[in-house]
Amino acid sequence: MTENVLVTGGAGFIGANFLLRMVPKHPDARFVCLDRLTYAGNPMNLRAIEDAENFHFVQGNICDADLLADLFAEHGFTSVVHFAAESHVDRSIETPLAFARSNVEGTVALLEVARQAWPDDAAGAGDRPRFVHISTDEVFGSLGPEGAFSEETPYDPRSPYSASKAAADHFARSYFHTYGLPVV
């Protein structure tokens, strides 16, 4: 079976570097990059792979559930790598609602479309992670001069950005526990 991978936020710094490495390394897989191209995304980041046969770029918003459903239907995604996020702490202080919409509502829209597209996985039949949700260390708050965060570190968001990412993390985890969606 051909791997068809949806990469959200793939024109951003981290998402683009992921694609720049994975597209040439996996020529038999197909990669679709969905990015809204806000201040954080730049199509020039993808210049080196823009003509690759196994790469396709779509400009769009993860909050658009109809677009997501159309993309899932058209491409038959076998997995999602979800980088897309509003990610600037200072901007989140000025416009917290925009961060809640993108980071929380967008993540839930993506999770829900994936759940509907993969009913066997949602019933607990999936045997591998298919939805990779990317978070941030900001959800854990501030680290003192010593120590390190771990998976056991309690959440302690300190900005609207980190609160929105923490909420998205909790939704991703809830889709794993409630629906059996293979999310990591």
Q: Which residues are catalytic?
A: 137-138, 161
Cβ atoms 131, 114 nearer than 8 A: yes
Side-chain half-sphere exposure of 38, counting CA atoms within 13 A:
15
Across the beta sheet with 79-82, the strand order is 55-59, 30-35, 4-8, 79-82, 131-133
**N-terminal to C-terminal alpha carbon distance within the chain:** 22
Nearest partner of 165 among 128, 133, 130, 139, judged by Cα: 139
Nearest partner of 87 among 134, 130, 132, judged by Cα: 134
